[in-house]
C-alpha cells in the first residue's frame, strides 16, 4: 500500500503581475509548508503571477483595441515563465532541497502566445512536467492559447500517481476519463477560486476517479491587485485604470479562496477555507481509496470498454514543421 501523503495548498495572494516578487513569495510559502510536513504543495490556477482578474470584472476588458487591455497583456507576457528559464529552474531547486512535490499554476509564454500552464516539480527531476489548459473558458480566450494532448500527463511519486487539471477542464468528461485512465491516486484541481460549483466538481472528480483531490484557490483583495501592479514601477496609467475600474473598494475580496482537500469518497479531509489567507493542509488515508474501488473503478470493472472507447491524441500540435535532407 502507498504511504499516506500530506497535501498542502498555499492560499495566498501573489504579487499581482510581478513575477520576480511572486517567485520570492512562492519560495517562502513552499519552504514553510515543507517544514510543516507537506509532501505535495499546490498553488491556485496561474498563481505566477496571478489570475487575469480584469477579464472577469473590468467593464472594458473585451473592447477591441483597448489601450488598457493591450498594456495589461504586454505586462503579463513580460512577467510570464518560459520553459527552461531561471524561474522554473529555481522552483526545481526548491523541490530538490525540500523533497516536496510542487504543483504551480503559471502563465507560460511560448513564442508570442501565452498559455495557462501547470508545472509539476518532482524532487530530483531534471525539469518539471507541464500541463497546458486544453480550453480557456470564455473571456480567458482573450489572453491564452489552447493546449494539446501532449501535456495531458501525470508523474510518479512515492505516494502514487499525481496529476492535475485546470478549472473548467473538470467539466470536460473526456479529459476526466483520460486522466482517470492515467491511474491518478492524487489529483490537484486548480481554480482561481473554489466556489460552490467548483467544490461540486472537485468532490465529483474525487468520487469518480477514486483519488484524493486538492482543490486549490487563491485569495486576493482589490488592494492586493493594485499594489502588485504598482510594485512593477511602470508608467502605464491606462492599464492601472482598467484594474481600478473593477467594482469594489480596496478591501473588497476579488477572490475569496475556498481551498479544500477531499478524500476518494467525496468527503472533506480539510474543509474549505474562505475569506482569508492560509495554508490548507491534510493527510490522505490511501486505504480509503483502495476500498472505494470495490464499488467503482471507472478505468476498470466499471468502464465497459466493449461499449465505450476513447482515443487521446498525445502528439504536439504545431502549425509549421521543418525538415532537412
Residues designated as active site? 45, 133, 167
Listing DSSP states for 218-253 in one string gives: -EEEHHHHHHHHHTT----HHHHHHHHTSSS-TT-E
What is the rounded distance in angstroms from the CA atom of residue 6 to the CA atom of residue 124? 19
Place of cell 488515508: 285
Strands 113-121 and 6-11, by their bridges, are unpaired
DSSP E strand stretches across the chain: 6-11, 40-42, 101-110, 113-121, 129-132, 154-157, 160-166, 186-190, 212-216, 219-221, 253-262, 268-274, 278-283
Point out which residues pair with 186 in neighbouring strands.
162, 212
Q: Is 268 helix (H, G, I), strand (E, B) or coil?
A: strand
Amino acid at each position: 500500500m502507498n504511504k499516506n501523503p500530506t497535501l498542502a495548498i498555499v492560499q495566498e495572494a501573489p504579487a499581482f503581475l510581478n513575477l520576480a516578487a511572486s517567485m520570492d513569495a512562492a519560495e517562502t510559502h513552499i519552504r514553510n509548508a515543507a517544514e510543516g510536513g507537506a509532501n505535495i504543495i499546490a498553488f491556485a490556477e496561474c498563481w505566477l503571477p496571478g489570475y487575469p482578474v480584469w477579464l472577469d470584472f473590468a467593464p472594458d476588458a473585451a473592447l477591441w483595441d483597448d489601450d488598457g487591455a493591450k498594456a495589461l497583456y504586454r505586462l503579463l507576457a513580460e512577467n510570464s515563465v518560459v520553459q527552461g528559464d531561471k524561474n522554473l529552474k529555481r522552483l526545481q531547486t526548491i523541490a530538490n532541497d525540500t523533497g516536496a512535490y510542487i504543483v504551480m499554476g503559471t502563465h507560460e509564454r511560448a513564442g508570442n502566445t501565452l498559455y495557462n500552464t501547470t508545472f509539476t516539480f518532482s524532487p530530483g527531476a531534471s525539469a518539471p512536467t507541464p500541463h497546458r489548459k486544453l480550453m480557456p473558458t470564455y473571456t480567458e480566450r482573450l489572453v491564452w492559447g489552447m493546449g494539446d494532448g501532449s501535456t495531458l500527463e501525470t508523474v510518479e511519486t512515492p505516494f502514487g500517481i499525481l496529476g492535475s487539471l485546470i478549472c473548467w477542464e473538470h467539466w470536460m468528461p473526456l479529459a476526466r476519463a483520460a486522466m482517470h485512465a492515467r491511474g491518478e491516486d492524487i489529483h490537484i484541481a486548480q481554480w482561481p477560486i473554489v466556489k460552490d460549483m467548483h467544490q461540486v466538481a472537485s468532490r465529483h472528480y474525487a468520487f469518480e476517479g477514486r483519488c484524493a483531490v486538492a482543490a486549490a484557490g487563491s485569495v486576493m483583495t482589490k488592494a492586493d491587485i493594485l499594489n502588485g501592479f504598482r510594485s512593477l514601477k511602470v508608467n502605464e496609467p491606462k492599464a492601472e485604470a482598467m484594474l481600478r475600474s473593477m467594482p469594489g473598494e480596496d478591501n473588497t475580496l476579488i477572490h475569496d479562496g475556498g481551498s479544500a482537500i477531499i478524500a476518494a469518497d467525496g468527503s472533506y479531509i480539510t474543509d474549505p477555507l474562505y475569506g482569508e489567507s492560509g495554508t490548507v493542509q491534510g493527510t490522505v488515508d490511501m486505504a480509503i481509496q483502495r476500498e472505494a474501488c470495490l464499488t467503482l473503478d471507472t478505468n476498470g470493472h466499471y468502464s465497459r470498454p466493449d461499449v465505450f472507447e476513447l482515443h487521446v491524441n498525445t502528439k504536439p500540435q504545431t502549425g509549421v514543421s521543418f525538415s532537412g535532407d
